[in-house]
Structures are given as C-alpha cells and as structure tokens.
Chain A
C-alpha cells in the first residue's frame, strides 16, 4: 500500500516534469532532467544526513538499531547519488558539450560516492559485529564532512556546474511553476528515499535476528 503510494507520487512527479513545468528558454527540453537530477541529489544528501545522525547516536549509545539505520541510509543515499552521477553527464553532454569535467561540484560529488562505497566495503571487512558497527560509525562521521563541501562547492568556487537556483542568494530563483514542480519532485523522491530506507532497515533487522538465532543454536 505504501509502496503503491510512493510509486504514484514519483510517477506524478515525472508527469509534472514533462507536461506541467514550462520549457526553459536557453536549454529547452534537456533542462527537464533538472527535476529528477537535483531532487535525487537532495534526497541523497538527506539520506547521508540520516546516516550521519545514526552514526553519532551509535557512538554515543552503542545501540545496534542506530548501526542498522546507518547502513540502511548509507546504501539508499548511495543509490540516489549514483542516479545523480548518471543523470548529470546525460544532461551535461548536450548542455556543455562534454560528459564530465573535474570541477569542484562534480569532483566533490564523485568523492562523496567513493566515500560511501568505502563505508560499505569497510563493513564487509570486519567480522565482529560491535567492532564493525563502531568503526563504520566513525568512518561515516568522517565521510559526512564531504556533504557540506558538495553543497557549498557551487557557492564558494566558480565552477562549470551552474550556480544554485534554490538558496542561491539574490539573482537566483526559479519561475513559479518550475519551482512548484521542483519541490513536488523533491517531496516524491524523499518519499521514495524513506520507503527504501524502511525496506533496507527491515532487512538489517532480519540479519540481526538471524545472528541471534545462530548464536543460540551454537550454544545448544
């Protein structure tokens, strides 16, 4: 039921991006990628923020539910940032004439993707659950340092990537219908992000239960 509601929301957001948002004057139709690309980036950053809070709470409380939430939100955030790194170059080629350039925003986003891949790889290398949870929480806290850098990259440095149209200060902004469609897309992709984290959290909870039953079996 919740899955169907989320699917309806993201479908409606895609419809709005294609049929309700007006066409942008300079880039024309290719600008429609913006609603998916930027909204995915926002949802990915929110997922990494959830991961960061869960990592801090794990270090403080040592409760395994925060470890489960941390890994769940890191995986989901990674899926969203993967989408950002795929849709960005598809948009860049017709708009800039190149798929990729090592400017501050693109590079910091790629580094962010590598950092969270490392976070997940680190977890596969440590067998002991408490040690795995603590070390990955500490690494997750470190990895999050890149999130504000990605956010600030187009504000602090002149980049190939366009300047921000939301929270970009005077002179920035979106046409009102575009703004509504964008925030609707942000809402839809955040709903998808929460749904995927909940599903992934359920999987992690099962893994913990399985570990408990295994230990019980070994003890008998």
Chain B
C-alpha cells in the first residue's frame, strides 16, 4: 500500500512540474503580448 502511495506521489509530483512549467510559459507569453501591443500602439501614435 505504501508502495502504491509512492507511485501516485511520483506521478502527481511529475505532472505538477509539467503543469507549473506550462503555466509559467503561458503567463510570460501573455505578459509579453500585452507589452508588445502597448508598444505597437505607441509606435503607431508616433507615426
């Protein structure tokens, strides 16, 4: 039973690593996109 707990722990922690990695990439992408849109707008206003 204790071994089964270890198997579940390994899978859960492993998937958590992938999920957190994906979340950080998604968050960084969305903040860069906002920044890019903001800069493009100010560039267009300047023209």
Residues of A within 8 A of B (CB): 14, 18, 28-30, 32-33, 36-37, 40, 75-76, 79, 82-83, 86-87, 90-91, 93-94, 192, 196, 199-200, 202-203, 206-207, 209-210, 213-214, 216-217, 220
Q: Which of B23-41 contact A (CB under 8 A)?
A: 25-26, 28-29, 32-33, 35-36, 39-40
Complex Cα–Cα for A132 and B44 (A): 30
Residues from chain A with a CB closer than 8 A to the CB of B39 are 210, 213-214, 217
For the side of the interface on B, what is the size category?
Answer: 20 to 34
From known contacts A29-B4, A196-B21, A196-B25, infer whether A14 and B43 are also in contact, taking CB-CB under 8 Å: no
Q: What's the dominant secondary structure at chain B's contact region?
A: helix
In contact, B18 and A83 (Cβ under 8 angstroms): yes
Residues of B within 8 A of A (CB): 2-4, 6-7, 9-11, 13-14, 17-18, 21-22, 25-26, 28-29, 32-33, 35-36, 39-40, 42-43, 46-47
Lowest 4 A-B CB distances belong to which pairs? A30-B3, A87-B10, A90-B10, A83-B14
From known contacts A79-B21, A216-B43, infer whether A32 and B7 are also in contact, taking CB-CB under 8 Å: yes
B14 to chain A, nearest CB (A): 4
Give 5 CB contacts A-B under 8 Å: A36-B14, A86-B17, A90-B9, A192-B18, A196-B21
Residues from chain A with a CB closer than 8 A to the CB of B33 are 206
Complex Cα–Cα for A213 and B14 (A): 38
From known contacts A28-B3, A203-B32, infer whether A86 and B13 are also in contact, taking CB-CB under 8 Å: yes
Complex Cα–Cα for A37 and B47 (A): 55
